[in-house]
C-alpha cells in the first residue's frame, strides 16, 4: 500500500463541517489501526493535544488524544455524562493562530471503542476532559469558533474569513 502523508485540513474545507460517519465493527481492522497510528504521528508532529479524523481529511468517527497522560485512540466516541463548567482558552490545529475562550464541562464520561473494537469508558477531567469535548465536537462538524459569543464572533470575523480563503493568516496580524 502506498503511504500518502496525512495533512491538516484548515477551516474553509468542507469536511470540517461534516458529521463523521460512524465506524462499523467490520471496519475495525489493521487498516483502521494504521490510520489511527498515522493520525497520532500527525498529532505529535504538529504538537496537538488531539486530532479528529476530519482534520486529516478522513470521514470516520475516530480521534486520537494525548493530554499528557498517554495516548487514546478512540472509535465512535460519545459523551455520556458531563458535569461542572470551566472556561479556558483553546486553539485548534485547523484554525491556526486563533485562540478563544471556550466554556465546557469540567468533567465528562466518554464511551468509545478502542482500536481493537473493545468498549472503553473514560472518566476525565482537566485537560483530558477538554480535549475529549473538543475532538468530539470536531466529529460532529463543530469548531471552537461556534462557541463564541456574538461580540467575539464579530471581532474575529475578518481573521476567520482570511484563514478560510488562504489557509493561514498573514504574518503581520497582531
Ligand atoms: Zn480542533
pLDDT (tens digit per residue) in 74-83: 999 999 999 9
* 135 tagged catalytic: yes
Average pLDDT along the chain: 92
Q: What is the pLDDT of residues 2-61, one digit of tens each?
A: 456 899 999 999 999 999 999 999 999 999 999 999 999 999 999 999 999 999 999 999
Contact 106, 84 (CB under 8 A): yes
First to last CA, the chain: 44
Q: Which of 5, 31, 135, 171 is catalytic?
A: 135
Nine cell digits for residue 71: 495516548
**Residue 96 CA, ligand 1 centroid: distance in Å:** 10
**Residue 134 CA, ligand 1 centroid: distance in Å:** 6
Q: What is the pLDDT of residues 92-150, one digit of tens each?
A: 999 998 999 999 999 999 999 999 999 999 999 999 999 999 999 999 999 999 998 88
Amino acid at each position: 500500500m502506498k503511504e500518502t502523508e496525512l495533512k491538516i485540513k484548515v477551516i474553509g474545507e468542507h469536511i470540517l463541517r461534516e458529521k463523521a460517519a460512524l465506524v462499523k465493527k467490520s471496519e475495525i481492522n489493521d487498516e483502521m489501526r494504521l490510520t489511527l497510528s498515522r493520525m497520532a504521528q500527525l498529532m505529535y508532529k504538529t504538537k496537538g493535544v488531539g486530532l479528529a479524523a476530519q482534520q486529516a481529511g478522513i470521514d470516520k468517527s475516530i480521534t486520537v488524544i494525548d493530554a499528557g497522560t498517554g495516548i487514546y485512540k478512540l472509535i465512535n466516541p460519545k459523551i455520556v455524562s458531563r458535569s461542572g463548567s470551566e472556561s479556558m482558552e483553546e486553539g485548534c490545529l485547523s484554525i491556526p493562530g486563533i485562540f478563544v475562550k471556550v466554556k465546557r464541562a469540567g468533567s465528562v464520561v466518554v464511551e468509545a471503542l478502542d482500536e481493537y473494537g473493545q468498549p472503553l469508558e473514560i472518566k476525565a477531567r482537566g485537560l483530558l476532559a477538554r480535549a475529549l469535548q473538543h475532538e468530539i465536537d470536531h466529529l460532529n462538524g463543530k469548531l471552537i469558533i461556534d462557541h463564541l459569543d456574538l461580540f467575539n464572533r464579530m471581532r474575529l470575523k475578518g481573521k476567520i474569513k482570511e484563514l478560510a480563503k488562504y489557509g493561514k493568516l498573514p504574518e503581520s496580524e497582531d
